[in-house]
Amino acid sequence: MTIIFHKNSRVFHLTNGKISYIMRVMENEQLESIYFGKCLNDRDGFEYQHEAVSRSHAAIALPEPSVLSMQYTAQEYPFAGTGDYRSPACTVLQENGSRISNFRYVSFDIELGKPLPEGLPATYCEESEEAETLIIHLKDDISETELHLFYTIFRDHPAIARHAEFVQNGSQAVYLERALSACVEFKDCDFEMLQLSGAWARERYIRKRPLEYGMQAVSSMTGTASSAEENPFIALKRKETTENQGEVWGFSLIYSGNFLAAAEVSTFDMTRVLIGINPESFTWKLMQGNTFATPEAVMVYSDQGLGTMSRVYHKLYRSRLVRGYWRDRPRPILLNNWEGTYFDFNEQKILSMALDARNLGVELFVLDDGWFGRRNTDRDSLGDWYCNRNKIPSGIDGLAEKIEAMGIRFGLWIEPEMVNEDSDFYRAHPDWVIHVPERYRSHSRHQYVLDFSRKEVVDCIHGIIRKILSEAKISYIKWDMNRYMTEPYSIALPADRQGEMMHRYILGVYDLYEKLTGEFPEILFESCASGGARFDPGMLYYAPQAWCSDDTDAWERCKIQYGTSMVYPLSAIGSHVSTVPNHQLARVTPLRTRANIAYFGTFGYELVIGNMSAEEKDAVRRQIAFMKKYRELIQTGSDLYRLRSPFEHNEAEWIVVSKDRKKALALFCQKSNRVNGSWLRMKLDGLEPSFMYRVFAFIDEGPREFTAYGDELMKIGIAIDRVDLTVMGGDYVSILYEIEAVSCADATPAQI
């Protein structure tokens, strides 16, 4: 790992033996993007990669005889108005109304380790030797605004983390109208763009499209969340790239609010990737002495397909984004009462559910919505965070004590950012909700969004939640957020700072998370946002797992979890077994399949065990025992390989393999049964070719066991018997394969 500066050519080369990132200071003192990709040999001479030629309509950046035009130059952090007619990374409005900037190179610093942007989530180092950071300092002399570009290259990952910071030194204020986190340019456009798109109950579906001239983008304007509709991630892949081969570049934003991720192709086939805070409705006023930091973007390169890119993100986010007590610990198996009772429960019913769960091996009982105020529907009491003693006479502290006495832990649902109009909290603080005076206040789910851009609001909610957590034995918090922002306006901000409101809101959410996770470090926080609307890297910094989707149907979860795994580790994916008919689709799927898919996440249940048959209870007991045996492998000690996509096939297949390649767990699941269908083979991946493995297949008509070398399992595969699938039920059936090395002589696991 090293960052090299060639003084004569003014070229920077960041490399770690896996990747190279190369840029240079041009003659006009701006930064040119030269290369991002597979590791290159270093040399003093990369500046010759610059191409300059006189073209029609070109605005020339320097006096003659220069032909340097920014429109035809790949740039590191382009700004508006000086001859580049593509989208800029930043736009700075000055007091005279001008939006013209000229950030010129001043100097650079190289630091061991990784500085963190203040108040924002970001990847981190535990030892300074894990990473090296380049900070390039630029300045606009007219406005006296400084721009600092941060580049961190990791020792163990083919990844670079980037963010930007603006510092205003001049006496006149400036307004940031666009302040993106990163820009990367490519000299061609031979890419497909991959994105994770959807909606409530079908989050993070994989979508692909070839790049064309113009702008291709995904974005969010929801204010409170990165959104269920789009995820703050895109990848550019070559058209021939698959899971296992070919080039791909990933771009992931560590942020939970409005974002933009775009690929803009010029008519000269240049591709510009931009990612950061959505410029729409954003401005930030910088007074003298003020600093603004953008969220961090993490860029990953792989020349071995999408699967390798994903495993880089998984390892980096699992070990150097997630923090604290639960980072490396297997997650407790839980029962959540929501789909079992909704609002219709009392203390005795909850205790009975907890006892039934304990008797089958569940480790954590979670009380969901409906425990506070007068809450019996979603129309009232949000914000009244005191126990409804009519439902729970013992109070939350007493209920937690009773459940702990059973030998399992207790968890609680909250939605601290929201309030119902019919609540004591709203009546006491009607102006604390986000609204525009004298205009209609849109509601959603009969609730309003508290103005977390205001410190006094965050501090008040902090005091209320801290009191609950201090007085009861609570081991887990499900932090929900069930609506997007409308009428974004804060009565606490002046007119010229209203564009800061939505970013300040997210900073307020982060601030509350930071306070509570710091004060209660052993509580497991799970983020939730009407399902998976906040499944983003920003949340993982505070809450090590996230509720993946409100849709718990087995086949839908195949797709949702498959898409989610493109960026996020299995340890982050909240996955439960729910009852059938499924509450979202009314679909009936086998209990075995529901569990087999839920294993590949945090695992839990969302049903009434007391309503199950003795046979079903026995199955649940075995499932819980199985998950306890394998959860460390699944959540913290393995690599995921996607084998067959449910977006493209009738089947879904994947495998997790231990780091030493001696253990693995593979899943086969089919959607619809086929009459007289063709042969089915599941080709595995990630195994050591020279290891002999014992394969144990869990099939209804009797477990199957056989042995085979790793190369055979990967090149020929496992034969799937369609008769077995029919006997097991046909539609939505699944088979789990337990794989363990029985002979490892003279073999060295390959490096991933």
- Using the predicted structure, report yes or no on whether residue 209 has a pLDDT greater than 50: yes
pLDDT value at residue 731: 96
Contact 271, 263 (CB under 8 A): yes
The helix/strand count (H/E) of the chain reads as 13, 39
pLDDT value at residue 701: 60
Confidence of residue 747 (pLDDT cuts 50, 70, 90): very low
Q: What is the Cα–Cα distance from 227 to 56, expressed in whole angstroms? A: 42
Confidence of residue 230 (pLDDT cuts 50, 70, 90): very high
Report CA Rg, the chain.
27
- Using the predicted structure, report yes or no on whether residue 749 has a pLDDT greater than 70: no
Q: What is the Cα–Cα distance from 473 to 403, expressed in whole angstroms? A: 9
- Using the predicted structure, report yes or no on whether residue 280 has a pLDDT greater than 50: yes
DSSP state of 403: H
Question: Would the CATH topology of 2-320 be identical to that of 334-635?
Answer: no
pTM for the model stands at: 0.97
Contact 22, 12 (CB under 8 A): yes
Tell me if the bond preceding 63 is cis, omega within 30° of 0: no
Contact 167, 145 (CB under 8 A): yes
Confidence of residue 637 (pLDDT cuts 50, 70, 90): confident
pLDDT value at residue 702: 66
In DSSP terms, 546 is beta-bridged to: 527, 573
Contact 638, 667 (CB under 8 A): no
Q: What is the Cα–Cα distance from 350 to 354, expressed in whole angstroms? A: 6
Domain 2-320 has CATH 2.30.38.10: no
- Residue 384 exposed, middle or buried by CB count within 10 Å (0-12, 13-18, 19+): buried
Residue 531 identity (one-letter amino acid): G
Least Cα distance to 304 among 253, 238, 207, 257 occurs for 238
- Using the predicted structure, report yes or no on whether residue 745 has a pLDDT greater than 70: no
pLDDT value at residue 131: 97
Contact 487, 458 (CB under 8 A): no
Contact 88, 80 (CB under 8 A): yes
pLDDT value at residue 225: 97
- Which 3 state secondary structure label does DSSP give 354? helix
- Using the predicted structure, report yes or no on whether residue 748 has a pLDDT greater than 60: no
- Note the residue count of the chain: 752
Q: What is the mean pLDDT of residues 556-567?
A: 98
Q: What angle in degrees, to the nearest 10, is found between the helix axes of 614-635 and 591-598?
A: 20
pLDDT value at residue 750: 40
Please report the DSSP string for 502-522 in residue order: HHHHHHHHHHHHHHHHHHSTT
Residue 386 identity (one-letter amino acid): Y
CA 684 to chain CA centroid, nearest Å: 26
pLDDT value at residue 82: 86
Q: What is the mean pLDDT of residues 430-451?
A: 96
Q: Which distant-in-sequence residues (6+ apart) come within 8 Å of 94 by Cβ? A: 142, 143, 172, 174, 175
Confidence of residue 581 (pLDDT cuts 50, 70, 90): very high
Quick: pLDDT tens for 614-623: 999 999 999 9
Contact 709, 690 (CB under 8 A): yes
Confidence of residue 752 (pLDDT cuts 50, 70, 90): very low
- Residue ranges per domain, the chain? 2-320, 334-635, 642-743
Catalytic residues: 480, 550
- Using the predicted structure, report yes or no on whether residue 1 has a pLDDT greater than 80: no
Residue entry with tokens 């508006």: 80
% of residues, the chain, pLDDT over 90: 92
Q: What is the mean pLDDT of residues 634-663?
A: 96
Quick: pLDDT tens for 148-170: 999 999 999 999 999 999 999 99
Quick: pLDDT tens for 495-519: 999 999 999 999 999 999 999 999 9
pLDDT value at residue 704: 86
Angle of CA points 162, 163, 168, to nearest 5°: 150
Domain 642-743 has CATH 2.60.40.1180: yes
Residue 613 identity (one-letter amino acid): S
The CATH classification of domain 334-635, taken from the options 3.40.50.300, 3.40.718.10, 3.30.870.10, 3.20.20.70: 3.20.20.70
SS3 per residue for 475-490? CEEEECCCCCCCCCCC
**Maximum Cα interatomic distance, the chain, rounded to a whole number of Å:** 87
Please report the DSSP string for 184-239 in residue order: EEES----EEEEEE--TTSTTEEEEEE--SEEEEEEE--SS-S-SSEEEEEEEE-T
- Using the predicted structure, report yes or no on whether residue 723 has a pLDDT greater than 60: yes
Confidence of residue 51 (pLDDT cuts 50, 70, 90): confident
Q: What is the Cα–Cα distance from 292 to 259, expressed in whole angstroms? A: 16
Q: What is the mean pLDDT of residues 409-425?
A: 98
Averaged pLDDT of the chain: 95
Give start and end residues of each alpha helix (H) in 406-483: 424-428, 455-471
Q: What is the mean pLDDT of residues 281-302?
A: 98
Which helix (DSSP H) or strand (DSSP E) does residue 622 occupy?
helix 614-635
Contact 177, 503 (CB under 8 A): no
Q: What is the mean pLDDT of residues 404-421?
A: 98
Contact 248, 241 (CB under 8 A): yes
pLDDT value at residue 123: 98
Distances (CA, A) of 378 to 331, 374, 421, 422: 30, 10, 11, 10
Distances (CA, A) of 286 to 137, 295, 724: 18, 17, 67
% of residues, the chain, pLDDT over 70: 99
- Using the predicted structure, report yes or no on whether residue 668 has a pLDDT greater than 80: yes
φ/ψ of residue 555, rounded to 5: -70, -40
Contact 570, 544 (CB under 8 A): no
Q: How many of the other CB atoms lie within 10 Å of CB of 219?
A: 18
Distances (CA, A) of 166 to 200, 255, 287: 36, 18, 11
